[in-house]
Structure 1
Amino acid sequence: MLKNLRLRQKFTILLLAILLMGLSLSGFALSALLRQNAKNDIAATGVMLMETMTSVRNYTTNQINPELKEKLEVKFLPQTVPGYSAREVFEVLRQKKGYRDFFYKEATLNPTNLRDKADNFEAEVVEKFRKNSNLKELSDFRKLSGGDIFYIARPLAVSEPSCLECHSTPEAAPKSMIDRYGSTNGFGWQLNEIVGAQIISVPANTVINRANKSSFVIIGLVSAVFAAVILLVNIFLNSQVIRPLKHITRVAEEVSTGHMDAEFDKFGNDEIGNLAKAFKRMQLSLEMAMNRLKKSHGNTST
Structure 2
Amino acid sequence: MFLQRLKLGPKFNLLLALVFIGGFIISGLALSNVLESRAKNEVTSKALILIQTMNSVRDYTSTNLQPLLNPRLDTDSTFIPETVPAYSATEVFQRVRKTDPYKDFFYKEATLDPTNLRDKADSFEADLVDKFRKDSNTKELSGFRDLPGGQVFYIARPLSVQKESCLRCHSTPDKAPRSQIATYGAENGFNWKLNDIVAAQLISVPAEEVLNNARQSLVMIMSILLAVFLAIVAVINYLLKRSVIHPIRQMARTAESVSMGHMEEEFRQTSRDEIGALAAAFNRMKSSLEISMNLLNKKH
> What's the TM-score bracket when you normalise by the shorter of the two chains?
0.7 to 0.9
Count how many residue pairs are aligned between Structure 1 and Structure 2: 297
Q: Does 1:63 align with 2:56?
A: no
Q: Which residue of 2 aligns with 1:85?
A: 88
Q: Which residue of 2 aligns with 1:244?
A: 247
In structure 2, distance between residues paired with 1:204 and 1:184: 36
In structure 1, distance between residues paired with 2:92 and 2:276: 78
Local SS of the residue matching 1:101: coil
Normalised to the residue count of structure 2, the TM-score between the two structures is: 0.88
Letter in 2 for 1:162: S
Q: Which residue of 2 aligns with 1:300?
A: none
- Report the CA distance between 1:135 and its aligned residue: 2.5
Letter in 1 for 2:195: N
Local SS of the residue matching 1:265: coil
Alignment of 1:149-168 (within 5 A): 149-168=152-171
Q: Which residue of 1 aligns with 2:113?
A: 110
Local SS of the residue matching 1:188: coil
Q: Using the TM superposition, name which of 216-225 and 285-294 deviates more.
A: 285-294
- Report the CA distance between 1:152 and its aligned residue: 1.9
Q: Which residue of 1 aligns with 2:3?
A: 2
Letter in 1 for 2:216: K
RMSD of aligned residue pairs (Cα, Å): 2.4
CA offsets, 1:155-185, max 9 Å, x none? Answer: 1111122222322333433333333323332
Local SS of the residue matching 1:191: coil
In structure 1, distance between residues paired with 2:260 and 2:38: 68
Local SS of the residue matching 1:11: helix
In structure 1, distance between residues paired with 2:250 and 2:65: 91
- Report the CA distance between 1:11 and its aligned residue: 0.5
Letter in 1 for 2:60: Y
Local SS of the residue matching 1:143: strand
CA offsets, 1:206-225, max 9 Å, x none? Answer: 33333323332332233222
Letter in 2 for 1:40: N
Segments of 5+ residues of structure 2 without an aligned counterpart are none
- Report the CA distance between 1:282 and its aligned residue: 2.4
Q: Which residue of 2 aligns with 1:182?
A: 185
Q: Using the TM superposition, name which of 266-275 and 246-255 deviates more.
A: 246-255
Local SS of the residue matching 1:141: strand
Local SS of the residue matching 2:249: helix
Q: Which residue of 2 aligns with 1:53?
A: 54
- Report the CA distance between 1:195 and its aligned residue: 1.4
In structure 2, distance between residues paired with 1:233 and 1:206: 40
Alignment of 1:283-302 (within 5 A): 283-292=286-295
In structure 1, distance between residues paired with 2:263 and 2:196: 103
Letter in 2 for 1:275: L
Q: Using the TM superposition, name which of 128-137 and 149-158 deviates more.
A: 128-137
Q: Which residue of 1 aligns with 2:39?
A: 38
In structure 2, distance between residues paired with 1:274 and 1:133: 75
Q: Which residue of 1 aligns with 2:275?
A: 272
Query: Match for 1:231 among 212, 231, 234?
Result: 234
Q: Which residue of 2 aligns with 1:11?
A: 12
Local SS of the residue matching 1:155: strand
In structure 2, distance between residues paired with 1:96 and 1:262: 82
In structure 2, distance between residues paired with 1:218 and 1:83: 43
In structure 1, distance between residues paired with 2:299 and 2:24: 67
Letter in 2 for 1:3: Q
Q: Which residue of 1 aligns with 2:206?
A: 203
- Report the CA distance between 1:293 and its aligned residue: 5.2
In structure 2, distance between residues paired with 1:196 and 1:148: 22
Q: Does 1:137 align with 2:140?
A: yes
In structure 1, distance between residues paired with 2:62 and 2:44: 27
Contact 2:3 2:11 in 1 (8 A): yes
